[in-house]
């Protein structure tokens, strides 16, 4: 787990105490906390069947504020843990986890609109067939096959490419500019609409709850973090990602 999302995370109290509690140095405390736990030797497994409900931004302004906060916070985390990036001695954290945060939160949002522009030019030149096929394939593999969403979302592929990607680019550029100037970025919460209607959780019987590897974190639909076998026991904990 490169990031234990704050909207769906569970941690062992002893693990948090061992690393000094929740960090407050960045705008993305979930990503920063994940880095700290992994650096301390804790292992954070992924629970694919965990379910968590969270409310996503419903207005463009709120979505942009959220993305700017994520981009700026990711830059803070990368700067704070720069000594880990690309270092084999830190294992998957240095070679996969932190590089993935850089790629997914900064580089891809910054580069994707340039690829989209090339595709748009091809469409305007009359080569729309292959372009639309590429868009449909991308939407199908991601939204439908991986996330198990409706096939109707394939029709929204052009909208994703030519509206949402430029918004992500804007968020990254604004955040990067502010970060380079060492300007403070304050937490700006999005408006909430109480639109989430979660179903009641499935009861867990006593035998299952007492089984090894279960417990409160698992029954709440979150992942559990455990110390690496080679580490001296010093408790920890984690979660499942829900995309906003």
Q: What is the DSSP letter of 85?
A: T
Q: 74, 171 in Cβ contact below 8 A?
A: no
| 107 vs 32: CA distance, rounded Å | 19
Q: What is the pLDDT of residue 82?
A: 93
Q: 243, 55 in Cβ contact below 8 A?
A: no
37-56: buried (b, 16+ CB within 10 Å) or exposed (e) per residue? bbebbbbbeebeebebeeee
Helix pair 29-39, 60-80: axis angle to 10 deg? 30
Query: 88: how many CB neighbours lie within 10 A of its CB?
Result: 7
Of 42-56, 78-92, 189-203, the least confident: 189-203
Residue 213, pLDDT > 80, answer no
Q: How confident is the model at residue 80 (pLDDT cuts 50, 70, 90)?
A: very high
| 160 vs 139: CA distance, rounded Å | 9
pTM, 2 dp: 0.69
Q: What is the pLDDT of residue 229?
A: 34
Q: What is the pLDDT of residue 16?
A: 92
Condensed to tens digits (0 to 9), the pLDDT of residues 152-195 reads 777 777 777 778 878 888 888 899 889 888 888 887 777 777 77
Residue 238, pLDDT > 90, answer no
SS (H, E, C) 113-173: HHHHHHHHHHHHCCCHHHHHHHHHHHHHHHHHHHCCCCHHHHHHHHHHHHHHHHHHHHHHH
- With tokens 């449909």, the residue in question is 136
The more confidently predicted of residues 221 and 107 is 107
Q: How confident is the model at residue 226 (pLDDT cuts 50, 70, 90)?
A: very low
Q: How confident is the model at residue 132 (pLDDT cuts 50, 70, 90)?
A: low
Q: Which residues pair with 43 in a beta bridge?
A: 226
HSE of 113, CA atoms in CB hemisphere, 13 A: 15
Q: Which residues contact 38 (CB under 8 A, 6 or more apart)?
A: 44, 93, 97
Closest by CA position to 167, among listed 112, 92, 103 = 112
Q: What is the pLDDT of residue 5?
A: 85
| 130 vs 113: CA distance, rounded Å | 18
CA distances from 72 to 76, 98, 162, 171 (A): 6, 15, 23, 9
| H/E stretch holding 68 | helix 60-80
Is residue 141 exposed (0-12), middle (13-18) or buried (19+ Cβ within 10 Å)? exposed
Q: 69, 187 in Cβ contact below 8 A?
A: yes
The more confidently predicted of residues 77 and 190 is 77
| 134 vs 121: CA distance, rounded Å | 14
Of 80-84, 130-134, 201-205, the least confident: 201-205
């Amino acid at each position: 787990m490169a990031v234990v999302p704050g909207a769906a995370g569970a941690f062992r109290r002893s693990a948090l105490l061992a690393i000094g509690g929740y960090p407050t140095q960045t705008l993305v405390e979930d990503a920063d906390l994940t880095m700290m736990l992994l650096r301390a030797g804790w292992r954070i497994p992924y629970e694919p069947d965990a379910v968590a409900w969270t409310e996503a931004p419903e207005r463009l302004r709120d979505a942009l504020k959220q993305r700017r906060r994520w981009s700026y916070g990711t830059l803070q985390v990368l700067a704070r843990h720069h000594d880990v990036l690309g270092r084999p001695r830190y294992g998957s954290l240095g070679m996969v986890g932190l590089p993935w945060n850089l790629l997914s939160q900064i580089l891809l949002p910054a580069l994707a609109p340039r690829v989209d522009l090339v595709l748009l030019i091809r469409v305007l030149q009359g080569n729309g067939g292959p372009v639309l096929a590429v868009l449909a394939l991308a939407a199908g593999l991601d939204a439908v096959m991986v996330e198990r969403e409706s096939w109707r979302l394939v029709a929204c592929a052009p909208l994703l490419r030519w509206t949402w990607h430029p918004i992500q680019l804007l968020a990254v550029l604004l955040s990067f500019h502010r970060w380079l100037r060492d300007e403070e970025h304050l937490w700006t919460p999005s408006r909430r609409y109480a639109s989430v209607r979660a179903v009641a959780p499935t009861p867990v019987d006593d035998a299952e709850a007492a089984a090894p590897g279960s417990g409160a974190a698992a029954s709440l639909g979150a992942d559990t973090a455990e110390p690496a076998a080679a580490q001296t026991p010093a408790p920890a904990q984690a979660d499942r990602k829900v995309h906003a």
